[in-house]
Structure formats: structure tokens, C-alpha cells
Amino acid sequence: MDMDMRLRKATYHLWTFTISKVIAALGGSIYAFGISFYILTLTGSATSFAMNLICSILPRTLLAPVAGYIADTRSKKAIIIVAQAASVLAVGGLLTVVLTTEVSLIAIYITTCILSVTSLFAGVTFTSAIANLIDDARIQKAMSFNQASLSIAMIGGPALGGLLYGTVSLPIFLAIFMVTFAIATFLESTMNFKLFTKIKEKQENEVKETMMQSMKSGIAYLRQHRILTVLIWVALVVNFFFGAFQIGFSFVLIEKMKIEATHFGIVEAASAIGMLITSIYFGMRKELKYPLLVSKWGIVLMGVLMGFIAFPLFISLGYIGNVIFYFTVLFGFGILGILVNTPIGVLMQKRIDEEYRGRVFGIVETCAQALMPLAMIVFGFLYDIVPAEWILLSSSICLIISVLWLLRPSLLKQAHPELGEAKLSNETAKPVTP
């Protein structure tokens, strides 16, 4: 296939990838909304709701390295189609239970576990395949469109879910999920996942690594690449300290500020709006020259915003002032989230060798999820005994100091050798804009 044909096919991939992601993410968001409300309506128990969250998080944390290994050693197209089809069948099984017998929490928990596993395999495989589907010049655009699709789902899912919840039954929610994922699966089946591959087909008589050997080689590959190792440490640190934000934000707004549910929903939507606007911006602009430098200052600014959450606890802004203030803070978080994730995603797509991408992204997934339960426990305990403002401020300071040390100038010079020492020294004194 000549280059012009490949570029045209890559353009088709870019739009098909985006449309399928929007459809699947929107269907998944509507389903999650319906199931969450159903559990709370059925049981009235926060514990039952939390169990469903655990069923969603735990399988992803445990199986991410396995998903990475399979993504590197099997047909990416087959993995994605099987995973998406399994999602449809799992929800179809729950729909059958709902229609034929009285639905139980066990059936919902089992379905949630299956969906967690299938979304993990599809997600890791898709992420590791982006550089195979899209030409190098448009990888940033693809990563931005991927983030935009998630933002659309975050905004539209709860809105559509809320509209549907009062008018349709649980089986309709399940049917919507099945239809959306079936459409997404069909679109993905038309894509060529080897369009830009650089790996030659292995000979049948070639000795293959066992799963354990393959996973060890993936870890060894990471150790050989200091920048990738540091990025994993950054992911661990950010996810841990953001536990203070995830728990503290809702605690401060609902318990301390007494923000009404409607206004709380509007404030939370600000993050998705910021993500969507910034994703569109990244999709239109040229690729960043120094992605790691941009991500570093993006995380620092996120740390600053985390500290800002405590501001109304020191100085009263009034009810409307609080709503406007927190809407602005969440909007900023949405912008900075894309400013951090997109450059790092593009850097990893281009720096990681194709045969290791699945395993590396699987390890990153595990690390990103691993400290979340611990952070929830630690900060949940702290918010009961320590004033919220001091937890937020101390977490903000710890996050900023940790990232400034992990992504210090000497490390950034390894990632971007074209940056001179003088420029790096100057850049540490001010944030970098894209």
C-alpha cells in the first residue's frame, strides 16, 4: 500500500476511532448512571454502591499487566472486537435476568466485574495500537480526540441518564448500552490495526516467550528507560495525593459549604467542559515541542488549584460566590488534566517500541490504579479528624514538591536533549504554556 493510500486510511481511522469512542463512552456513561441510581434506589446503602465501585476498580488493577501482555502478543483487532462483544453479551445476560427474574445485586456486581475486565482489555489494546492506526504527525490529534470523546460522555451521559431515568425502566438502560457497543464494535471491525506496524510477522517455528517471561521483559524494558520509569512514579504520586482532592472536594462542597445537589452537578460538569475545550484545541494545533515540560507545569498548577479549594474555608464568599469559585476551579482542573495527559500520552506513543507498548501501558494502568484504594482509606480517615483546609493545603504542597523533584531539569534534559541547561533553568521559574 503506497503512502497516499495509507494516509487516507489513517484519516478514516482517526474519525472512525473518534466516533466509536464517543458512542461507546456515551453508552457506558448512561449505563453507569442508571446502574448507580438503581443500586441506591434498591438498597439505599452507600456500602452497596461502594461495592459496585470496587468491582469496577479491582479487576482493572489486578489484570492490567496481563492485558498488556496479550495486547503485545495477540491480534489487537481480535482482542478489541472480542472484548467489546463480551461487554454486549454480559449486559445481555443481566438484561435476561432482569426480564425473567427479580434482579439481584450479585448479578449487577458480576456484570460490573466483567465490564471492568473487557473495558480494560479493549482500552489497553486500543491505546497500544494508536501509533499503528494513525501516522506520526497526527498522534496528538488522535489522543486529543480520544480525550474529547470521554469529555462528551462525561457531560452527555449524566444529562441523558437523568432524562431517561425518570421515564424508562432499567431494561431500557441495558438495551441502550448493548446497541451503542454493538455499533462501536462494527466500526472498529473495519479498521486496519497493522497499517503503520513496524513488526514483522513471527515465524511459526520461532520460540515464543511465556507470559511470565514476557512480563519480566516488559519490566526490564521499563528499567532501561529512565524517563518511562519516572513517569510511572509521577503517576503514583499524582494519583495518591489526588485522593485528597477526590474525597475533599465533595466533602467541602456538600458538608462545609452546603451546596445544593443541582448546583453541585453544575460545578462537576465544569471539569468535563474544560476537558472538551482543551481537547479540541490540542486536536487543532501542531504537536507540542516539549511535552514533558508542559506536563510538569500542568501538574504543578493542578497542585495549586487543589490548595485553592480550601480558600472559601478561610474567607467567606457567600453561596453564589462559592458556586462560581468552585465552577472556575473545576474548569481549570479540566483544562490542566488534558494539558498533562495528552503530551505524556503522545510522548509515550512515540518513545515506546511497538512490541512493548501493551505491557508498558498495562503496567502504567496498574500503577495509576494501585494507590487509589489506599488514598481513599487514608484521606477518608484524615478528613474525619483533621480540618479539611489543612489536608488540602498540605497535600497540595507535597504534590508540588514531589513533581518538581521527580521532573527536575536534569531529567527533562534527557527527555528533551535539544533544551539547553540555561533554558531549563529559566523555565523552572515560570509555567510553560502550550
DSSP 336-362: HHHHHHHHHHHHHHHHS-GGGHHHHHH
Q: What is the DSSP letter of 208?
A: P
pLDDT of residue 166: 67
pLDDT of residue 396: 93
Cα 334 to Cα 272: distance, rounded to the nearest angstrom: 6
* Same domain, residue pair 31 and 154: yes
| Cα separations in angstroms, 423 against 159, 328, 405, 426 | 46, 32, 18, 5
132, part of any domain: yes
Residue closest to 246 by CA, chosen among 116, 398, 383 = 383
180, part of any domain: yes
* Same domain, residue pair 66 and 184: yes
Q: SS3 of 221, please?
A: helix
Alpha helices by DSSP H, listed for 74-104, are 76-100
- For residue 369, give the CATH number of its domain: 1.20.1250.20
* Same domain, residue pair 139 and 272: no
* Same domain, residue pair 137 and 72: yes
Cα 80 to Cα 123: distance, rounded to the nearest angstrom: 8
* Same domain, residue pair 230 and 180: no
* Same domain, residue pair 289 and 398: yes
Q: What is the DSSP letter of 252?
A: I
Total domains in the chain come to 2
pLDDT of residue 241: 87
> Which residues form the domain of 106?
3-192
Per-residue pLDDT of the chain (434 residues; tens, 9 = 90+): 677 888 999 999 999 988 888 888 888 877 877 777 777 777 766 567 667 777 887 888 888 888 988 988 889 999 999 999 999 999 999 999 988 887 788 888 899 899 989 988 998 898 888 888 998 888 888 888 877 887 777 777 766 776 776 677 778 888 888 999 999 999 999 999 988 887 765 544 455 667 778 778 888 888 888 888 888 888 888 888 887 887 787 778 877 888 886 787 778 778 888 888 888 888 888 878 888 888 999 999 999 999 998 888 888 888 899 899 999 999 999 899 888 888 888 888 888 888 888 888 888 777 777 777 777 778 877 888 888 889 899 999 999 999 999 998 888 888 777 665 545 545 444 444 43
* Same domain, residue pair 185 and 223: no
**Spacing of C-alpha 408 from chain mean position:** 25
197, part of any domain: no
Q: Is 241 exposed, middle or buried (0-12, 13-18, 19+ CB in 10 A)?
A: buried
Are 84 and 118 in contact, with CB atoms under 8 Å apart?
A: yes
pLDDT of residue 267: 82
Residue that terminates a domain, selected from 129, 158, 192:
192
Cα 275 to Cα 244: distance, rounded to the nearest angstrom: 21
204, part of any domain: no
pLDDT of residue 206: 54
202, part of any domain: no
pLDDT of residue 205: 47
pLDDT of residue 433: 40
* Same domain, residue pair 40 and 99: yes
* Same domain, residue pair 20 and 100: yes
pTM score: 0.76
| Cα separations in angstroms, 17 against 143, 153, 287 | 10, 15, 19
211, part of any domain: no
Cα 327 to Cα 322: distance, rounded to the nearest angstrom: 8
Are 349 and 360 in contact, with CB atoms under 8 Å apart?
A: no
pLDDT of residue 60: 83
Other CB atoms within 10 A of residue 36 CB:
16
Q: Is 12 exposed, middle or buried (0-12, 13-18, 19+ CB in 10 A)?
A: middle
